[in-house]
Structure 1
Amino acid sequence: MQSVIAVIAVIGLVGLFFGVLLAFADKKLAVEMNPLIHVVEDILPKGQCGACGFAGCAAYAEAVVLDKDVPPDLCVPGKKAVAQMVAELTGKAAKDIEPRVAFIRCALPISAAKKKYQYSGIEDCLAASLLQNGPKECEYGCIGLGTCVKQCVFGALKLNDQGLPVVDTRKCTGCGKCVSACPLQVIDLIPVDAHVAVFCNSHDRGGVVRKYCDVGCIGCSQCSKLCPHGAITMQDNLPVIDAHVCIEKCQESVCLEKCRRNAIQDYKTHAVEIKKAV
């Protein structure tokens, strides 16, 4: 019995010794943190989206306070207001941040799409895309398994009853997390005040598109030829719109009238309809 007590006493003394030693070392070797880091971190939206290029809000706060070369306007979700506050606290100059939101470049829901096969597997777009770019005949269209929805840290995405992601522009911060999550690059970021948008992601020729999609762009290039401001160019069978030229110069949106497939649509009307639906 005395041996047991002795062992317990020795273990207790050893533990106490190392506890005191660690406490002393912690106090002596502690690195004092700049209190401004916590102030900046409190300003950030805490989405931990990584759009700034750092591993979370705390990492960005530390970097922007301690490193003179880290700009104060990297927090995309925080937009201009946060950038200005961070700039004032750190004594740096912030650039203007253009507000953008996520946009789904596909109008063909998975429920109505022609399919190469019936997918039965992991409910993940990346997993499904590994087999012939997904079950749709269109290898560029939204797969509809909601990987982007799961990745959105701000709750701005949800799947509708047809299997297409819907963006709530009131919640979307434009962080781009859903863009990186989409294996087929169906999601893009678009200026919030864009006039028109291309609701198609296919780069196939028109004859091929007609076989598998009733609303896909056939690459006729009429929109590009008729745009009086040169805001639309054709790239790999798909129109690409310079939103800034369109916003600054266009009032009539001729492209909407001439698109026979309705692949180009009025983005403002679309955004309003989405807001009403969510």
Structure 2
Amino acid sequence: MDELIIPVILLGTIGALGAVLLYLVSKKFFVKEDERLGKIIEALPGANCGGCGMAGCANFAEACLKVDSLADLRCPVGGDEVMGKISAILGKEAPSVEPMMAVVRCAGSCSVREKSNTYDGTKSCTIASALYGGETGCPFGCLGFGDCLEVCELKAITINPETKLPEIDENKCGGCGSCVKVCPKGIIELRNRDRNTGRVFVSCVNKEKGAVARRACKVACIGCGKCAKICPSGAIVIENNLAYIDFRKCEKCGKCLLECPTGAITTNNPSLREKCKAEEEMKKTMQSQSILNKI
């Protein structure tokens, strides 16, 4: 019996001494966590999208604690509201930044971009792009396999079953830029959210010459320069056979929408679109009237 009791007592004593030792060491080297860290994490949206440049929201919160100024740190999903809360918690100034959202610069749906082959490999834009240009004659257009959808933590992206193109819900998009980084074709871009006036942009990234681009897609930008000539604010430039609209200069007048011969320029603003349609109808009516007057 003693042969069993003595080892048990010995092991129990060693365990107790070990526990006491661990307790003393933990007390000696204990690092108290800044209570503000938890408050910052609570204020963050918890998307862990990586749009801030950090691995996740917890890492971003730690970075906010370490810096003297929040000027170089930004939560794109939470925007000014979240940064304002963090500013109040830390007593550090957080400058206001214009909110952004992602736009898809490709309108090459199935109806305007004919398939020339069928891809039978892994349904991944990144893999398919590394192998060849795509199923259509446009080597710049959207592949439609949804890599952008997979990385969107906010579930703001869906693939339209008819057009096979990604569509971004502006009410869900946080402007984190994850989809921008993952798109191998570079057709997704961050632009100003601007809910009041909307966005006007060129839905094409094809840099081939006009005739070649048009053969591949009916709504391709042909680099004709008509939009740049009519733009009153100088927001449009033509480079590498492609028009680009600087959203910081664009006044949302809609003139380029009417002038574009292929319909490559688009807007998400319904009122601006309707205004442009009305002006186009008026223009056609005036032209018809002018012809009749000459007769």
- TM value normalised by structure 1: 0.87
- 2:178 partner letter: K
CA contact (8 A) 2:69 2:92 kept: no
- 1:222 partner letter: K
Separation in 1 of the partners of 2:34 and 2:51? 24
- 1:131 partner letter: L
Matches within 5 A, 1:70-149: 70-71=70-71, 74-109=74-109, 113-149=113-149
- 1:230 partner letter: G
CA contact (8 A) 2:112 2:217 kept: no
Structure 1 residues 23 and 122, CA gap change in structure 2 (3 angstroms): farther
Residues 1:239 and 2:240 aligned together: no
Separation in 2 of the partners of 1:191 and 1:103? 10
Stretches of structure 1 lacking an aligned partner (at least 5 in a row): 273-278
> Helix, strand or coil for the counterpart of 1:40?
helix
* Residue matched to 1:265: 266
Alignment counterpart, residue 222 of structure 1, candidates 226, 229, 235: 226
* Residue matched to 1:170: 171
* Residue matched to 1:202: 206
> Shift in Å at residue 45 of structure 1?
0.6
Separation in 2 of the partners of 1:49 and 1:29? 34
Structure 1 residues 124 and 20, CA gap change in structure 2 (3 angstroms): farther
Q: Is the deviation greater in 83-92 or in 10-19?
A: 10-19
> Shift in Å at residue 128 of structure 1?
0.9
Q: Percent identical across equivalent pairs?
A: 36
Deviations along 1:209-266, one digit per CA (max 9) or x if unpaired, are 122111111111110111122111112111111212213xx53x21111111000123
Separation in 1 of the partners of 2:205 and 2:178? 19
> Helix, strand or coil for the counterpart of 1:92?
coil
CA contact (8 A) 2:113 2:218 kept: no
- 2:105 partner letter: R
Structure 1 vs Structure 2 CA RMSD: 2.6
> Shift in Å at residue 172 of structure 1?
0.6
Structure 1 residues 270 and 235, CA gap change in structure 2 (3 angstroms): farther
Alignment counterpart, residue 212 of structure 1, candidates 211, 216, 230: 216
Separation in 2 of the partners of 1:183 and 1:5? 70
Separation in 2 of the partners of 1:265 and 1:55? 35
Structure 1 residues 213 and 67, CA gap change in structure 2 (3 angstroms): same
- TM value normalised by structure 2: 0.82
Separation in 2 of the partners of 1:112 and 1:4? 86
Stretches of structure 2 lacking an aligned partner (at least 5 in a row): 274-295
- 2:207 partner letter: H
> Helix, strand or coil for the counterpart of 1:246?
coil
* Residue matched to 1:50: 50
Residues 1:27 and 2:33 aligned together: no
> Shift in Å at residue 191 of structure 1?
1.3
Separation in 2 of the partners of 1:90 and 1:167? 34
> Helix, strand or coil for the counterpart of 1:239?
strand
Q: Which has the larger radius of gyration?
A: 2
Deviations along 1:2-44, one digit per CA (max 9) or x if unpaired, are 9888777766665554444333322321211110111111101
Separation in 2 of the partners of 1:124 and 1:245? 36
> Helix, strand or coil for the counterpart of 2:26?
helix
Count of residue pairs brought into register by the alignment: 269
